[in-house]
Amino acid sequence: MKVILVGAAGRMGRAVARAFDEAGIGLAASVDILPANLGCNHYSRLNDVKEGADAVVDFSRPSLTEELCRFALDRRAALIIATTGQSEGQKRTIEEASAHIPVFFCSNMSFGVSLFASLAGQVAAAFPYADVEIVEAHRGGKEDAPSGTALMLANTIRDVRGGGRIVCGDRSGGRRAGDIGISSLRFGEGAGVHEVIFDTGFQRVALRHEAFGPELFARGTVNALRFIEGKEAGLYQVNDILDLKRNAPLKCT
């Protein structure tokens, strides 16, 4: 399999390139404003890439969403989007592209986070009237807040409850009954921590997931590539790889 890696010079891009090398996945080209020096042809603009590839993997920024989708459609290549913070219009562009090519779009490439979200849904079902607060902490340089993962967790809980207001960091006037709160912290160089707290007034249940480094998400990207290879057009995510009924990953690392 040959891959075009977008956002190749960043922290995640370099980790993904190392994971690809270990997994025997070849780089057809790399794309980034900064040089990546990954042993393949490098471009500062995606549309300048001349090489063909089986898949395009994106770890850049959401502003490139439309360009990525057009590029992958033109090349008939599978597309993996691992960035977060897309607008509703950009998400619609991704969905439209998935009608013609396989697209793997997930706010968090960690399989542990998908299992974590499944557990949060189970607790939400058991305690439908509990106060819920999601606390997420990321490195100081992360631009989007709340994180895509925090929003995924909040939406999972809201879906189980059949509704509810998602409140992001608004402390004026406190929380209303049924609110799903999200508090975001940005500091240091940590890879990411998410905690979901359910408080019934009589007891408290807390679930926590902590990522120790970018290698976790790089391994998830390798698994996503292996999964999407040869797939028909469609929109895929980590839950499509995991068998959550058995609560067991399928050949994942």
* Residues with catalytic roles: 138, 142
Taking every pair of C-alpha atoms in the chain, what is the biggest distance, in angstroms?
62
User: Which residue do the tokens 């967790």 mark?
Assistant: 153
Q: How far apart are CA 244 and CA 247, in angstroms?
A: 4
- Find the helix or strand (DSSP H, E) in which 194 lies: strand 192-199
HSE at residue 167, side-chain half, CA atoms within 13 A, is: 18
Instruction: Report yes or no: 224 and 20 within 8 Å, Cβ to Cβ.
Output: no
247 Cβ neighbours under 8 A, 6+ residues apart: 115, 118
34 Cβ neighbours under 8 A, 6+ residues apart: 9
